[in-house]
Structures are given as C-alpha cells and as structure tokens.
Amino acid sequence: MLPAVRAEAPAILLLAALAAAPFLGFGEGYMLTLLARAMILAMAAVSLSLLVGGAGLVSMGHAAMMGFGAYAVVILDDMGVTDAAIVLPTAIAAAGAFALATGAIAIRTSGVHFIMITLAFGQMAFFTASSLAGYGGDDGYTLYSRSDVLGLRLLDDRLAFHFICVGALALTWLLGRLLLASRFGRVLRAAKGNPLRAQALGFDPFPYRLTAYVIAGAMGGAAGFLFANATEFVAPAYISWQRSGELLFMVILGGVAGLHGALIGALGFVLLEEWLSHQWEHWRILFGVLLILAVLFLPNGLSGIPAQLARVARR
Amino acid sequence: MSAPLLALHGVQKRFGGLAVTDDVSLDIAPAEIHAVIGPNGAGKTTLINEISGVLKVDAGRILFGGQDITALSMPRRARLGLARSFQITSVVNAFSALENTALAVQARSGSSFRFLRPAATERALNEAAMSALEQVGLAARAETPAGAMSHGEKRQLELAIALATEPRLLLLDEPLAGAGPEETERLIGILRGLKSRYTIVLVEHDMQAVFALADRISVLVYGRVIATGTPDAIRANPEVRAAYLGEDEGAEAMPC
C-alpha cells in the first residue's frame, strides 16, 4: 500500500494546498477568481489526461466538451432555469451525448487522423455556438445569475465557490484514478500499450475507448458548468481549437504518466500565464519560449522532474 | 480419431500473385500437440494468423468446436477459447508480469466493464494469474515490469498469458524463437508439462523440440500441406526429406 500512497502524494498535497490557499494569504477576490479558473481548467485537463495517458486518445477537441457544459448553463439560464440540480446534470448529459455521437466516429480512427477528426468536431461545435444568435452569437452571453444550489445562492459566495471547485477537482481526479485502476482501466491501458495483445485476449478496444471518451466528455461538461458560473459569461471562444490546444498542452506540460500531471500542468500553465502577463507587455513571447523549453527538456513533464533529478544525481 | 477441435477446410490466402496458403485442410484432435513445420516463407505464421483471426482468408472454412469461425473477428475467436502466443513477443511492456497475466484471467472471468474497484485488489484474478506464472516458472518475477524482462522470460510470460485464458486451443507461434540453449531447455520442459492437458498447434523451427513434443506433424511447403503424420512417419517420408530438408543435407539435419 505504501508505494501506492506515495504515487498519489503529489496530487493530494496539491489539492490540500488549494483547499488551504484562502487561509494562506490568497483569500482576496482576484486571487480566488484566478484559482477558480485554474482549478476548473485543471478538471478539464485531468479528464483529457484520462484519454491521452490512459487510452492513448489524443483529442484536439476537448474544449467542445466544456463548451457543451457551458452552453447548457446558458440555454437553461435563458429559460429561467438556474437550479444546479437541473443545470449540472444537463450540462454533464449534453457533453456526454456529444462525446458519444462524435466519439463513435472518431474512435474508429487513430493517431493523426484521430487528432484531426476531434479537431473538426470541435470546430463544428465552435461554429454552431457562433451562430446561436439568440445566445449572443460571437459576442457571447452574460448569465442573469449563477446557478442556485438547493435554492441557496451558494455559488455567489466566493469562498464557497472556491471550495466547490476544490471538491469538484478532487472528485474528478479521484474518479479518474479509480477508473484507470479498475478492470475497465486495465483493459484501456492494455489496449493503449499493445492493442494486438488486447485483441488476442478477446478485448475489442472500441467499446472501452468509447466509454472512456464519453466519461471524459461528461467530466469536461461538469467543468464547463463551473466555468460558466465562474465567469458568469459564455462565448464561443470557450470552444475554440486554441482552448483545446491549451488543454492538451497542460496535459503534456504536466506529464501523462499519471493524472496528477494534468493537475500540475494546468495549475502551472494558468498561474505562469497570469504572472508573466503582469511582468511584461510582450509576455507571450516569453511564455512561448518557456513552453518550448519545457517540452524539450522535460520529456516526462513537470511531474517527471523529481525522477529526472534523481537520475541526474545518480550519474 | 475423435471429432476434431479445429478443422481447416480448403483454406486459401493470396498476397498479390503469391499463394501463401494454398488449399490447406487440417484436423486438430482434442488434446493433441500438432506441430506445423516447414522452411522459411512456407506460410506457417500466416496460417496461425488465419486461425487466430488476424488475417481474413480468401476462401475455405475454419471450424472450431464444430462452429464456423471463418468470419469472426480476433476478439470473438479469443472469447471462444482460442489463445495464441506471438512469434515476436507481444506483451504489455508497461504492465508487470502479474498484471499482464491477470488481464488474461480477466478476459474469461466476468465483465470488464467494472469501473471503481481497483483490479489489482481482486484476489481471484491475482491467484489465477499467479498459478499460470507458476506453471511457466515465473512466479518469482511476478512484480517485474514486462519491459524489463529478458527475452527468455518474455517468452515464458507469453506462454503464461496464453495459459491464463484457460484456452480450449493454444496457438503457439515459435515459442522458442530467439531463446538461448538453457531457456530452450526450460521452455521445452514447460511445454511437455502441458501435453495432453491442452490442445496445441505448435509452429516451431527447433526440430529437436518438435519431434520431442508433437503427437502429429504437418509439413507446409509454399503454402501447401505436403504431409501430415506421426513424427516417425514424417521422419521416414521421402517427399518431406526432399522438399523440406533438401536431399542429403536434410537427412543429417533431421533428428533420428
């Protein structure tokens, strides 16, 4: 059991640090807004990491899953429905259904073709959102209010919202961990490592991959629900391929060896982006260079740094 | 002979203009070790691929336990009890020996659409996997990642995986390929231990092993079966000597 606990330690420590952040001098509004954004994107990144690291499915359209969740909030808000007990399941179901419909086609391909077809489906979702004139089209839609929880304006309380985000992120990570370790996850990982072997044992990879795609999509939908509530605004830009690329980058920056990599990658990405943008007007140049350096010199991502240092020290 | 477990009727396969399997008919009886030998390029691995479902045949029928499986996919055939090993080791390198084998057990014990319970804590899976590893002498290496194993150990693991599925028929594609003399010795010992408990189709280049293990031998040359019989009959068959082993040179290579 000990090695198992050690493997989970980075994620648990990080989640604990996030939970404690408001009491460690990060309790002001601006900081909490930033952390909420980072945690919600981390949720989406963790769910994407389930696909990339667990199933070998490199999706370039994961932002669309968040988009379906966010637009479910918008459409229900427009209808006057703001009860989270209705909005959240709808957001999850909408994203899951989109994942099922597009995954059933995309998962028949692999490698570069899979990347391109998920990108294409993502762009379809993007242009559809842009054309929704009733919901602001390209300009986006400002919510009348955040969703209520059991009739309470719980999401309006900054501190409460912070803890909801911590809890949602922890739950996403924990579910992902359990899935990967389960019988289902074992087949998924085997089909990634050696599809021929999996088939020779009687496992057709397709239904396993599709199920994983739907689960990751549903998780992305939940993240989209939170994202819409965090910003109280939803625009097609949320679904753009750039956002999908960012999510994929977070996953790779953090490392795909474990789900905690996506956690670290997403938080690192968002916080570094924010910090740099305050340092220098042309910060994007520096940001790009840093990202390239990370890819070049951290083959296992940020989460692989300790092992990498240990190897260097042994030499 | 009792009803064959596996029967091939007039199986054909062409790659372009080349007939790699040319009207092959074979009956494999329950509990026999049936070796398929032949020179390089005779189409032995192709035959295994056709039986296991990696390749679709152009013509002919394959019956397994009386059921026509010609059109079934590889996973469906595997679920019917057809297990195979690969000439080039095919294990999941990132998995430990135990997890590789437990995955094979999992394939025949209940649904794999179970999402929350860690598979590594399922005692039934682990115990069956350990017993397969013990059969091939790998129990002490259960926790070793497959990617870190020696070639010979990987061959043993390949065998353990096939056994763990509790197959009705084992297709072994050159289980001794690339193994050193000691490893070969050990693997032959393991295969001998399986004799009469499993039905095995064995493709192998090591004639010593083939003649020591096989109940019957089929000789494949240019995609055609030119002879099938007991080891003694095959050894005495002049056509086999000429076609497969090449005149005098072959007479020496053929173990007596």
pLDDT in tens, B196-218: 889 999 999 888 899 999 999 99
B49 touches chain A (CB under 8 A): no
Task: State how far residue A173 is from chain B, nearest Cα, in angstroms.
Answer: 13
Residue B37: in which H helix or E strand, if any?
A: strand B33-37
Residues in chain A: 315
Tell me the mean pLDDT in the region B151-171: 91
Task: State how far residue B71 is from chain A, nearest Cα, in angstroms.
Answer: 15
* The pLDDT value given to residue A286: 85
Q: 């391929």: which residue's tokens? A: A241
Read off the pLDDT band of B256 (50, 70, 90): very low
Q: Does the pLDDT of residue A310 top 80, yes or no?
A: yes
**What is the tens place of the pLDDT at every residue in A233-266?**
999 998 999 999 999 999 999 998 889 999 999 9
Q: Does the pLDDT of residue A145 top 70, yes or no?
A: yes
A186·B99 Cβ contact <8 A: yes
Q: Which residues of A touch B99 (CB under 8 A)?
A: 186
A200·B52 Cβ contact <8 A: yes
Domains and CATH numbers, chain B: 1-81+168-256 (3.40.50.300), 92-166 (no CATH)
Residue % of chain A over a pLDDT of 90: 70
Q: Which B residues, 147 through 206, put their C-beta within 8 Å of a C-beta on chain A?
A: 161, 165
Give me Rg for the CA atoms of chain A.
Answer: 19
Task: State how far residue B201 is from chain A, nearest Cα, in angstroms.
Answer: 16
A186·B119 Cβ contact <8 A: yes
B88 touches chain A (CB under 8 A): no
B34: helix, coil or strand? strand
> Which residue in A178, A189, A201 is closest to B116 by CB distance?
A178
* The pLDDT value given to residue A209: 97
> Which residue in B75, B102, B114 is closest to A182 by CB distance?
B114
> Which residue in A179, A184, A197 is closest to B112 by CB distance?
A184
The Cα A270–Cα A266 span in angstroms is 6
Read off the pLDDT band of B229 (50, 70, 90): very high
Residue % of chain A over a pLDDT of 70: 98
B118 touches chain A (CB under 8 A): yes
* The pLDDT value given to residue B199: 94
A182·B79 Cβ contact <8 A: no
Q: Does the pLDDT of residue B128 top 90, yes or no?
A: yes
Q: How far is CA A249 from CA A252, A301, B120, B131, in A?
A: 5, 10, 31, 43
Q: Does the pLDDT of residue B226 top 60, yes or no?
A: yes
A199·B78 Cβ contact <8 A: yes
Residues 6+ apart with CB under 8 A from A279: A286
Q: Is the pTM of this model over 0.95?
A: no
Task: Indicate the average pLDDT of chain B.
Answer: 89
Q: Which residues of A touch B (CB under 8 A)?
A: 178-179, 181-187, 189-190, 193-194, 196-204, 207-208, 211
B84 touches chain A (CB under 8 A): yes
The first and second tokens of residue B175, run together, are 């289980």
B115 touches chain A (CB under 8 A): yes
The Cα A256–Cα A273 span in angstroms is 21
**What is the tens place of the pLDDT at every residue in A64-96?**
999 999 999 999 999 999 899 999 999 999 999
Provide the residue type at A189 as one letter. R
> Which residue in B92, B119, B161 is closest to A193 by CB distance?
B92
Nearest to B20, CA basis, from B224, B217, B171:
B224
Task: State how far residue A183 is from chain B, nearest Cα, in angstroms.
Answer: 5
Per-residue DSSP letter, B163: H
The Cα B237–Cα B242 span in angstroms is 9
Read off the pLDDT band of A305 (50, 70, 90): confident
> Which residue in A182, A201, A202 is closest to B115 by CB distance?
A182
Contact call for residues A228 and A70 (beta carbons, < 8 A): yes
The first and second tokens of residue B1, run together, are 């002979």
Backbone dihedral region for residue B43 (phi beyond 0: left; psi -120 to 50: alpha; all else: beta): left
- The torsion defined by the Cα of A93, A95, A97 and A100, in degrees rounded to 10, comes to -130
Provide the residue type at A11 as one letter. A
Q: Where are the alpha helices (DSSP H) in A79-204?
A: 84-106, 112-130, 158-181, 183-193, 195-200
Contact call for residues A140 and A233 (beta carbons, < 8 A): yes
Highest mean pLDDT range out of A5-9, A260-264, B40-44?
A260-264
Task: State how far residue B89 is from chain A, nearest Cα, in angstroms.
Answer: 10
B74·A200 Cβ contact <8 A: yes
* The pLDDT value given to residue B249: 46
The Cα A37–Cα A66 span in angstroms is 13
Read off the pLDDT band of B250 (50, 70, 90): very low
B61: helix, coil or strand? strand
Predicted complex ipTM: 0.87
> Which residue in B75, B94, B119 is closest to A199 by CB distance?
B75
Tell me the mean pLDDT in the region B61-67: 94
Residues in chain B: 256
Read off the pLDDT band of B76 (50, 70, 90): very high
Nearest to B57, CA basis, from B90, B86, B27, B19:
B19
Task: Indicate the average pLDDT of chain A.
Answer: 91
Nearest to A57, CA basis, from A101, A103, A17:
A103
* The pLDDT value given to residue A307: 84
* The pLDDT value given to residue A199: 93
B119·A197 Cβ contact <8 A: no
A189·B116 Cβ contact <8 A: no
The Cα A110–Cα A105 span in angstroms is 11
Provide the residue type at A203 as one letter. F
Residue of B nearest to A174 (CA): B116
- For residue A88, the Cα-to-chain-centroid distance in whole angstroms is 16
A107: helix, coil or strand? coil
The Cα B117–Cα A203 span in angstroms is 19
Contact call for residues B87 and B174 (beta carbons, < 8 A): yes
Q: Does the pLDDT of residue A183 top 60, yes or no?
A: yes
B103 touches chain A (CB under 8 A): yes
Highest mean pLDDT range out of A183-187, B14-18, B39-43, B153-157?
A183-187
* The pLDDT value given to residue B252: 45
Task: State how far residue B83 is from chain A, nearest Cα, in angstroms.
Answer: 7
Task: State how far residue A196 is from chain B, nearest Cα, in angstroms.
Answer: 8
Tell me the mean pLDDT in the region B11-19: 89
Q: Does the pLDDT of residue B110 top 90, yes or no?
A: no
Q: Which residues of A touch B91 (CB under 8 A)?
A: 194, 197
> Which residue in B78, B94, B122 is closest to A193 by CB distance?
B94
The Cα B103–Cα B112 span in angstroms is 10
Residues 6+ apart with CB under 8 A from B32: B199, B200, B215, B216
Residue B82: in which H helix or E strand, if any?
A: strand B82-85
Give me Rg for the CA atoms of chain B.
Answer: 19
Instruction: List, edge to edge, every strand of the sheet that includes B82-85.
Output: B82-85, B169-173, B200-203, B33-37, B216-221, B224-229
Q: Does the pLDDT of residue A304 top 90, yes or no?
A: no
Contact call for residues B235 and B252 (beta carbons, < 8 A): no
Read off the pLDDT band of A306 (50, 70, 90): confident
B78 touches chain A (CB under 8 A): yes
* The pLDDT value given to residue A312: 85
A202·B122 Cβ contact <8 A: no
Per-residue DSSP letter, A224: H
The Cα B208–Cα B191 span in angstroms is 13
Q: Which residues of A touch B90 (CB under 8 A)?
A: 194, 196-197, 200
> Which residue in A187, A194, A202 is closest to B90 by CB distance?
A194
Tell me the mean pLDDT in the region B227-255: 72
